[in-house]
Structure 1
Amino acid sequence: MTATSIFVNIPSTDLERSKAFYEALGFTINPNFTDENAACVVLSDTIYFMVLTREYLQTFTDKQIIDPKSQAQVSIALTRDSREAVDDVLAKGLAAGGSEPREAQDYGFMYSRDLDDPDGNNLSFLFMEPAAAEMGPEAYMAQQGAGDSGTA
């Protein structure tokens, strides 16, 4: 069975600005699927963002295209290998014109920060302790508490 690929279509009011933003985060643009209406942002071998002009995205649906600066339809969560990697990608995104709409979320087992691209599309970058992902957050936190000597 072939692996499923994911294409997330998101709107942009300035395609060139969006391409520069996503490249600043370390992603690449696939020129074979990029033109004046769309840019194919490669996140992995199976995950892509199709950043589309609002007008072009409208051709795919009869529904209203929302303004992601004031309305949320989805929040796209992407994992990173460490807390430092989360902070690093946020720094790159902020330097490239993104914004951080809320404070970092630290749940002990998971660390997450939100980044809005220049159009307001929301990305969450997160790191989860591997043991918490394997055993579940409650069991992981209980295990951490059992071995906790009162120091952090």
Structure 2
Amino acid sequence: MVKAGQQSARRLANAEVRRAEALEMFLAGKTYQVIAEELDYADRSSAWRSVQAALAEHAEHHKELAAHALPVVLARLERLWEPQYEAAQAGDTKAAALCLQMLDRYSKLHGLDRIQVDHTVTTRTELDAEIETLVARLAAATTPTPTTEGRTP
């Protein structure tokens, strides 16, 4: 007799296998309708969800691999940097070009090439000052003054 926990594990394993097959079929150019029919999904939207889940799993796996590879790549760049930088400072133009390429790669690895700085420059011209003066005069001219009507002397 199969225990309930074993049934769940089998069901999960079967779902993972189906997702992997659905992704393979999708990458081979099959439509969601065909994937649904061949893998016994209820409808093509279920097949679509399965493919999207498989894509998300693969994306997460690639992120993990990249996170592990980044320190290795950075260590290699650092080992290459010092001799090339010294040669570039001594006037070696090829070494200088390599240093620029390494800086570019370093910037890309750290996302420094994607940093965007938003800034706003405000200038104040004589015309702006004149407009402000006119607005202030107009406001002063239209301000109501208290009246003495209704008072008895």
TM-score range, shorter chain: under 0.3
Bigger proportion of residues as helix = 2
Bigger proportion of residues as strand = 1
> Does 1 or 2 have the higher relative contact order (CA < 8 Å, sep 6+)?
1
**TM-score if structure 2 supplies the norm length?**
0.22
Structure having the higher Rg: 2
